């Protein structure tokens, strides 16, 4: 290694409290390699022998780490599946962050790029890969600059035996889905392939591919340093550790926070500076998530299990406090149209079902729907659920179905043409402009 070890001071001890993955974040931009190693020491590496690599995977298993990209799959199981392959695998660090309201992956890459790269290199060594690719939303320029600069620093220091490179991913909702991302890296459109072989069997360049969210990799880099028991000191036994969430809407300090899994909504909102006005509902899990009434949302424990128990999903940890000055029906209509436009257009339920559902939600929102439309909408939601090759429609209709429950009174008003209760309403749920969405379906 070209960097003499005595240049660096003793690494800081393991953080006892939060933040963890954000602890090393630079206040004035990304941390340098020197600052990173001062804090954490050199990245540990699993030995080259199979038994050392197995020991590393066992430690990840004991830690209980699950993916932070949305699906929540046990990380050790994926590492094992790829490590078993005969061909040399590839690692993809997924920072595509297709969910429009999520900013956690961008913030992480922008502030602590070396922790993400440590994780990518560790994962590559654990599965026997010699290459790791970091995929970043093409509009996340600061994140790209930070990661590329960090790769340059590591190269100059001769730090890694794994080659690292960055690819731009399209700004599309589906681009971060793992088979779509692999398809894109291979030169195809960023659309899910969703038929076997899956990426872990045959992915980038036809090689077995481990796709792991960038936050998962950063968490892995900390577990490698401080151990599985340390990881479990926060969170719950079934959902240990911390997670990044993006808090938006009627809070004093919207942004990315690191929380212990299971933390109550009330504490998270408090950490985001408290509410700035009356909140009429919460959206948990982003655009594939669910609306909850203000009371149900307030009492929710924020974790995948907590969100599931409330009938929704945690997704990539987006939380929106909807101000009472915003109309949940109009917000829902905007997002449903966006989700209908973002389908890959490969299966009937997406192409026909979601478009028809988006039309009906729009009619209701604009007070031009006969009441029978609401009933028809419920029927269509049932028809589309569980269909489509990649189950994309499931997330979209779950979001709409929760709106029908939580905003039932407003929907009645809108549908019976009595208009919106608000003279003007504040828009909260944003979607990327179509100009940015032209790329990716090539």
Ligand X SMILES: Cc1cc2nc3c(=O)[nH]c(=O)nc-3n(C[C@H](O)[C@H](O)[C@H](O)COP(=O)(O)O)c2cc1C
Q: Beta strand 242-249 with 318-323: parallel, antiparallel or unpaired?
A: parallel
Cβ closer to ligand SF4: 254 or 286?
A: 286
Cβ closer to ligand SF4: 271 or 389?
A: 389
Minimum Å gap between C-beta 353 and ligand X is: 16
Which range of residues in 39-47, 89-97, 368-376, 398-406 is near ligand X by CB under 6 A? Answer: 89-97
What are residue 117's DSSP bridge partners? none
What are residue 245's DSSP bridge partners? 257
Query: Is the backbone peptide bond immediately before 19 cis, with ω within 30 degrees of 0?
Result: yes
Q: Which residues of 147-162 are buried (b: 16+ CB within 10 A; e: fewer)?
A: bbebbebbeeeebbeb
Cβ closer to ligand X: 401 or 411?
A: 401
DSSP per residue, 89-104: -EEEEEE---STT--H
Cβ closer to ligand X: 212 or 326?
A: 212
Cβ closer to ligand X: 153 or 239?
A: 239
**DSSP code of residue 32:** P
200 to 219, contacts with ligand X by CB under 6 A?
211-213, 216
Minimum Å gap between C-beta 72 and ligand SF4 is: 19
The reply to whether 98 sits near ligand X by the rule CB under 6 A is yes
The reply to whether 73 sits near ligand X by the rule CB under 6 A is yes
Which range of residues in 37-45, 115-123, 175-183, 278-286 is near ligand X by CB under 6 A? Answer: 175-183
Minimum Å gap between C-beta 193 and ligand X is: 12
Tokens linked to 323: 């101000």
382 to 411, contacts with ligand X by CB under 6 A?
392
Which range of residues in 94-102, 142-150, 243-251, 408-416 is near ligand X by CB under 6 A? Answer: 94-102
List the one residue out of 115, 303, 79 whose CA is nearest residue 223. 115
Q: Which long-range contacts (CB under 8 A, 24 or more apart) does 156-160 make?
A: 156/2, 157/1, 157/2, 157/3, 157/33, 158/1, 158/2, 158/3, 159/1, 159/3, 159/33, 159/42, 159/43, 160/117, 160/121
Minimum Å gap between C-beta 395 and ligand X is: 7
Minimum Å gap between C-beta 176 and ligand SF4 is: 13
Minimum Å gap between C-beta 313 and ligand SF4 is: 16
Spatial distance between the Cα atoms of 144 and 87, rounded to a whole number of angstroms: 30
What are residue 248's DSSP bridge partners? 320
Cβ closer to ligand SF4: 175 or 214?
A: 175
- All residues at 6 or more sequence positions from 300 whose CB lies less than 8 Å from its CB, including other chains: 264, 265, 282, 284, 292, 306, 307, 310
- All residues at 6 or more sequence positions from 69 whose CB lies less than 8 Å from its CB, including other chains: 94, 176, 212, 213, 215, 216, 316
Cβ closer to ligand X: 399 or 407?
A: 399
The reply to whether 67 sits near ligand X by the rule CB under 6 A is yes
The number of C-alpha atoms within 13 Å of 32 and in the hemisphere containing its C-beta is 6
List the one residue out of 326, 307, 313, 299 whose CA is nearest residue 426. 326
List the one residue out of 102, 119, 114, 104 whose CA is nearest residue 146. 114
Cβ closer to ligand X: 97 or 153?
A: 97
Candidates 57, 76, 91, 96: give the one binding ligand X (CB under 6 A).
96
Sites of contact with ligand SF4 (CB under 6 A): 174, 192, 194, 343-347, 350, 388-390, 392-393
Minimum Å gap between C-beta 193 and ligand SF4 is: 8
Binding site partner of 169, from ligand X, ligand SF4, none, Cβ cut-off 5-8 A by kind: none
Tokens linked to 433: 């402009």
Binding site partner of 40, from ligand SF4, ligand X, none, Cβ cut-off 5-8 A by kind: none
Cβ closer to ligand X: 241 or 297?
A: 241
Minimum Å gap between C-beta 429 and ligand SF4 is: 20
Binding site for ligand X (CB under 6 A): 67-71, 73, 94, 96-98, 174, 176-178, 211-213, 216, 392
């Amino acid at each position: 290694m070209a960097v003499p070890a005595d240049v660096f001071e003793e690494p800081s001890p393991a953080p006892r409290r939060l933040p963890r993955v954000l602890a090393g974040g630079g206040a004035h931009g990304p941390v340098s390699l020197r600052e990173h190693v001062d804090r954490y020491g050199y990245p540990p590496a699993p030995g080259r022998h199979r038994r050392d690599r197995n020991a590393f995977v066992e430690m990840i298993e004991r830690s209980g780490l699950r993916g932070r990209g949305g699906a929540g799959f046990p990380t050790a199981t994926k590492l094992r599946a790829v490590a078993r392959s005969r061909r040399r695998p590839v690692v993809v660090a997924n920072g595509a962050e297709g969910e429009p309201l999520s900013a956690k992956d961008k913030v992480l890459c922008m502030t602590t790029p070396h922790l993400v790269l440590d994780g990518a290199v560790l994962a590559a060594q654990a599965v026997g890969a010699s290459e790791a690719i970091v995929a970043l939303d093409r509009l996340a320029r600061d994140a790209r600059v930070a990661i590329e600069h960090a790769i340059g620093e590591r190269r100059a220091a001769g730090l890694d035996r794994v080659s690292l490179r960055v690819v731009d991913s399209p700004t599309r909702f589906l681009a971060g889905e793992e088979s779509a991302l692999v398809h894109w890296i291979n030169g195809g459109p960023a659309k899910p392939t969703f038929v076997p072989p899956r990426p872990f069997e045959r992915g980038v360049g036809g090689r077995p591919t481990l796709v792991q969210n960038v936050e998962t990799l950063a968490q892995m880099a900390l577990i490698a340093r401080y151990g599985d028991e340390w990881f479990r000191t926060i969170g719950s036994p079934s959902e240990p550790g911390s997670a990044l969430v993006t808090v938006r809407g009627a809070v004093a300090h919207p942004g990315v926070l690191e929380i212990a899994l299971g933390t109550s909504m009330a504490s998270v909102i408090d950490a985001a500076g408290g509410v700035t006005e009356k909140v009429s509902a919460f959206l948990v899990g982003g655009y594939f998530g669910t609306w909850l009434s203000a009371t149900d949302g307030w009492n929710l424990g924020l974790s995948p299990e907590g969100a599931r128990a409330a009938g929704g999903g945690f997704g990539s940890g987006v939380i929106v406090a909807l101000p009472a000055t915003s109309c949940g029906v109009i917000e829902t209509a905007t997002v449903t149209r966006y989700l209908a436009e973002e389908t890959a257009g490969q299966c009937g339920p997406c192409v026909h079902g979601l478009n028809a559902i988006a039309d009906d939600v729009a009619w209701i929102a604009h007070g031009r729907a006969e009441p029978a439309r609401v009933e028809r909408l419920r029927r269509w939601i049932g028809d589309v659920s569980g269909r489509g090759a990649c189950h994309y429609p499931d997330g979209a209709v779950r979001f709409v179905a929760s709106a029908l429950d939580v905003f039932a009174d407003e929907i009645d008003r809108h549908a019976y043409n009595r208009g919106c209760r608000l003279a003007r309403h504040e828009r909260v749920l944003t979607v990327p402009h179509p100009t940015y969405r032209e790329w990716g379906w090539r």
